[in-house]
A and B are shown apart, each in its own frame.
Chain A
Amino acid sequence: MMKKYLIIFLGLVFLYRCVVDVEVELPLENSIVLNGLIVPGDTISVSLHRSGVSTDTAGFEVIGDARVTLFENDEALGSLHYQGNGIYRAGNVAKELAAYKVVVETPEGEIARAETFTPEIDFNANITTLNETDSILSHRPFYLTLTDNPDKKNFYWICIFISMYEINPDTILSYRNLQYNLYSGSAYADPFNITYNYEGSGEYCFEHERFILLDDNNFNGETITFDFWNSYDSWKQDSILVYNTDEHYSNYLKSKLISEKGGEYIAEDMPPLNYVPSFLYSNVQNGMGILGSCTRYVKVYNQF
């Protein structure tokens, strides 16, 4: 809202249509893109592509002839095997609290590498709600209790998947969506994806877009309880997921979501004064993409 006024102000002052299109010359980029999300307990796989100008995953050039070596706690575990569509898979199952490194060598002599440290599988998360079946409330608060590991930096991402049925889970599935709006007034929540403030339950809270991020910079070693809620709808199943990610994947997801907000649009032809370019986080040396890791906690609630 503030920015809209700023624009009007400038328009009045300068009385001049001052916005021009700028033609820019971009240097050609054709980087290695290494993507992998390691989940302790699952087998390890990564994907290799080339960067491009595609807006469709299938449109990216795959790298199918690279040598991909996996290291666990600095010990070589061997090569990952190509599965097609740019996917390379290892026979190994990932461990919790372990350091993994992936080194990519292409026939052209390019070498890219990335590292991650896997989080613990059980991170002492628990979700409760006051009334599990009450359908009168316009929203239902959830309480997430976490006991932080003081020796580790943890990044907790909360999201809710909704499965909407005609009557109950045995009937026809209407749709399966990621819940768009999550609400919380807690100071523990990172405000990066707040869309606007919202008045609910007699107090102000903030609407977070699709995810709420808690990073343990705000707490260290203690048990915290965090409240949040989504909007109510009947005949649905809420699957609440809490991801415990490493720092790299958390940074990546955060930068991705900021980037997808598309900058600071106000309205057509109105220049946002406070435009800040978005950068996609990457931990891949000599390339792009992300090698991250995560574990998860799931709680399912039915609203029937």
Chain B
Amino acid sequence: MKYQILPLLILLSQIAYSQHTLSGKITDTGTGETLVGATIYNPGAKQGTSSNDYGFFSLKLPGGKQQVVFSFVGYEPQTIFIDLKTDSILNIGLSSDNVLSEVTVTESRRQYFLSGVQMGENRLTAREIENLPVVLGETDVLKAIQSLPGVNAGNDGTAGISVRGGSPDQTLILLDEVPVYNVNHLFGYFSVFNNDAIKEANLIKGTIPAQYGGRLSSVLDIRMKEGNLHEHTGKASLSTLSGKYTIEGPIIKGKASYMLSGRATWLDLPLRLYFYLTDNDMKVYYSFWDLNGKANFELSNSDRLFVSFYGGNDEFFVGNEDDNYFAGNSSTKYQFSWGNYTASARWNHIFSSKLFSNLTAYFSSYNYSHLYEMKSTSDTLNIDTYSSLADASLKYDFDYYPDNAHKIKFGTKLSYLFFQPEKTDLDTVQAGLSSHYQAPVVDLYVNDEFLLGEKLRVSAGLRLSSLKRGEKYEFHLMPRFSACYPLSPSLSLKAGYSIMVQHLHQLTNPSLSLPTTMWVLSNASLESSSSNLSSIGLYYLNDKGLELSGEAYFNTMDKVIDYKPGKENFKINENQWGESVMVGEGFSYGIELFAKYRLGSYFGQLSYTYSRSYRKYDELAHVGYYPYMYDRPHNISLQITKEFETSQNAKFNKRLTLNFNYMSGHLISFSNYTIPAILPDEFEGYKHHISDFNYYIPHPNNVRLPAVHHLDLSFHLENKKKEKSSWVFSIYNIYNRKNISFYYVQNEQVKGAALLPIIPSVTWNYKF
């Protein structure tokens, strides 16, 4: 008898312990857009996972009847009961229509904030970005990013970002996985990212996972909307600065969709009107535009194709368009333009319930040119200076889920970079040799996120990057490590360490972030930059939704580059950029504190950052370490939003947002100290008008400008009906603080230009 029971027991135990994989995609029920980072949780087995960048998930569950909870921030959680007998596919839609207004700490939030190993990560949705008060009515993702801890603006009001005291080029900015090399419109006051085309933005400034590479300090991963799979919708926006128009909808209902969004400024209209009315010989025009497009096609249950592109350009013109300037004898014009173009095709393929892949081919280019033309009755001089960069890449990424304990990512990337740092053509004078560079970069990576013991979650990765420098291939190994240990149900300790390598460098004018910045690639004489980042943090989230975090970091950098002191921009014959740069080392450290809380109809978030950043170069050996231009010790950011209760018959939902920012002042280089000069003996006895003393600046960035701070307000009137207009009223810099955007020195006096006084603005949106 006992021999008959044994097989039955074995069978029962197999059933009891048999495990099956539940996989699928999580989408928004309204639009069909995939949800990134949504949580899938099985309360019975206390096991969970999250959806990847394409909404795909894979979770191993015990066989039999199981409860699975799907949740995502801002969406109503869904609980599903499933009888698992084999590996199954389950595609789930979550709805954001009926989100409870009271505080609910979802499992998704807990998983992401307390249990996730990733440090220094902040995810912003398009709606969160829209919430913030804006300048000239223009919502901007990069300005929203500036409200996060550890992120500073370049100059007041500009969209450039410095993360943890690093230069803007140390942040890898991706738009649908394609690097964008210039993010500035209007001389840096607005970014190239049209918020109406954006789904979300994710900033990673801690230990950067192994799937990312190429920059030293952070990654900003911006995703475009995929397009509504179910119905045709659109949005038109008019702001003080620009007009935007976005349409999206199904190509094949439920299977394929498109999104197209365009933006153009009308800043040149008042300028043209002014010059027309004043009959001025001189003309000044400025314009910018950008266009985002995306389409996706579900080819089968396992295959999906995404095609996306971005194009944008700025153009500035001064001079006269005919030849009558300067009393008919000559004319002068100056034309300055810059822009980016990106295109990508991505193919998602699900090999099995455990293996997901994404193949991406992309092209990204950036170029700027300035043309100076002077015509006289006898001759013409054209000086055309331009710089360009093109990046053609192919990458293949895999997500492999062997079991619930491991989440493995691996892949490869092959890039071919073509660039021309700066070339000047003169039509009558040979200005020197042009410099073209091209180099292949090959990257391989693997990363495993796993549980060590019962509580310690670890992410360990390795990235290998190879660059051809001169005639030799150079290899860089970049280990990445991060860990998360829950100290209590509401408190976690996280730590991380990473080595990053950067082959591309951007050379920038320290005074103003004009788009004359040029990208240069490590070559035979210039090594790639590297950094060693260590960080540690505490994270707290209670049942009432109070979210607190504190992170500390220390980062050392080697082979960082900068312009040599005194090097001028706009040089006529600067094609040997290698002679203009110096190579050195640096370090930065800081503490970042962040709090977030919702109390009834109020929602607030507060961040404080203390950070320092230093550089040292052989060319300034007598100085030693000195503060880097992005060293801004204190940064405070506060946002409070009040959602007004409205009656059912009311036409609009009303929302008021208050924003306050404080940043330590920008560092500048200035001195009125002098030292005696020395000239060869022959100069004795001759009038030479060369001074016998010199002003000297002890070291770059020796003086700090006054702190930058402003209080802004925005009021949203959001129409409750889907196809109606909405309004946003904003006031930037309410108390009219004269924050300095850029500085210069005149007659031994530092002067600052405060370009953003109190600016009221209004934006009208129409959704259809």
Contacts and interface: CB of A to CB of B under 8 A. Distances in A.
Q: Are chains A and B native binding partners rather than an unrelated pairing?
A: yes
Interface of A: 1-2, 5-6, 8-10, 12-14, 16, 18-22, 24-27, 29, 31, 33, 35-37, 39, 47, 49, 51-57, 60, 161, 175-178, 180, 185, 187, 190-192, 194, 197, 199, 203-206, 210, 217-218, 241, 243, 254-260, 263-265, 271-290, 292, 294, 296
Nearest to B706: A22
A279 B566 contact: yes
Question: Which of B512, B672, B680, B752 has the most A CB atoms < 10 Å from its CB?
Answer: B680
Interface residues of B, number: 94
B753 interface: yes
B754 interface: yes
Given A6-B318, A210-B688, A35 B743 contact: no
Nearest to B427: A204
A187 B568 contact: no
A220 B158 CA distance: 44
A263 B745 contact: yes
Nearest to A162: B686
Contacts of B376: 199
B428 A19 contact: no
A45 B719 CA distance: 82
Nearest to A56: B693
Given A16-B757, A22-B705, A27-B702, A296 B622 contact: no
Interface of B: prevailing SS? loop
Interface in B699-749: 700, 702-703, 705-706, 738, 740, 742-746, 749
For the complex of A and B, the 9 pairs showing the least CB-CB separation, nearest first, are A279-B565, A5-B318, A275-B744, A178-B688, A277-B669, A35-B678, A2-B334, A22-B750, A280-B696
Contacts of A192: 568, 571
A296 B680 contact: yes
B298 to A, nearest CB: 47
Contacts of A187: 429-432, 573
A178 B702 CA distance: 35
Nearest to B512: A273
B379 A60 contact: no
A278 B668 CA distance: 12
B19 to A, nearest CB: 64
B744 A272 contact: yes
A180 B688 CA distance: 8
Contact of B686 (A161, A281, A283): A161
B695 A280 contact: yes
Given A56-B692, A60-B675, 8 more contacts: A8-B318, A24-B703, A199-B378, A217-B579, A275-B745, A276-B511, A278-B566, A282-B622
Interface string B487-516: 000000000000000000000011110100
B703 A185 contact: no
A83 to B, nearest CB: 15
Among A187, A275, A288, the one with the most B-chain Cβ atoms within 10 Å of its Cβ is: A275
Contacts of B673: 26, 29, 51-53
A175 B688 CA distance: 11
A274 B694 contact: no
B687 A294 contact: no
B274 interface: yes
Contact of B746 (A51, A263, A287): A263
Main SS of chain A's interface residues? mixed
A203 B428 CA distance: 7
Interface in B71-97: none
Interface in B222-269: 267
Contacts of B381: 197, 204
Nearest to B623: A282
Contacts of A1: 332, 334
Contact of B685 (A12, A14, A176, A254): A176
Contacts of A260: 690-691, 694
A51 B572 contact: no
B754 to A, nearest CB: 5
A22 B752 contact: yes
Q: Which of B319, B676, B740, B753 has the most CB of A within 10 A?
A: B676
27 contacts: A2-B318, A8-B282, A12-B271, A12-B274, A18-B754, A19-B752, A24-B668, A24-B750, A52-B675, A54-B674, A178-B683, A187-B430, A191-B574, A194-B572, A210-B688, A271-B744, A272-B744, A274-B509, A275-B742, A278-B695, A279-B669, A280-B694, A287-B622, A288-B622, A288-B696, A289-B675, A294-B680
A5 B274 CA distance: 15
Given A16-B757, A279-B669, A21 B573 contact: no
A25 B706 CA distance: 10
Contacts of B574: 191
Given A258-B566, A274-B570, A282-B622, A18 B687 contact: no
Given A25-B703, A197-B381, A241-B682, A177 B509 contact: no
Interface string B290-333: 00000000000000000000000000101100000000000010
B2 interface: no
Interface string B103-145: 0000000000000000000000000000000000000000000
Contacts of B674: 51-55, 60
A274 B688 contact: no
B326 to A, nearest CB: 11
A55 B695 CA distance: 9
Contacts of A286: 622
Contacts of A283: 622
A35 B286 CA distance: 50
A287 B676 CA distance: 13
Contact of A285 (B379, B622, B671, B687): B622
B514 A271 contact: no
B509 A191 contact: no
Nearest to B424: A191
B700 A259 contact: no
A119 to B, nearest CB: 13
Given A274-B509, A285-B621, A5 B750 contact: no
Contacts of B284: 5, 8-9, 12
Given A187-B432, A197-B381, A275-B511, A20 B676 contact: no
Contacts of B565: 255, 277, 279, 281
Nearest to B621: A285
Contact of A274 (B271, B511, B750): B511
A277 B689 contact: no
Nearest to A209: B689
B432 to A, nearest CB: 5
A192 B579 CA distance: 13
A190 B571 CA distance: 10
A127 to B, nearest CB: 16
B697 interface: yes
Residue from A14, A203, A277 whose CB has the most chain B CB atoms within 10 Å: A277
Contacts of A60: 674-676, 693
Contacts of A280: 675, 694-697
Contacts of B686: 161, 176-178
A224 to B, nearest CB: 14
B270 to A, nearest CB: 8
Contact of A243 (B426, B680, B745): B680
B436 interface: no
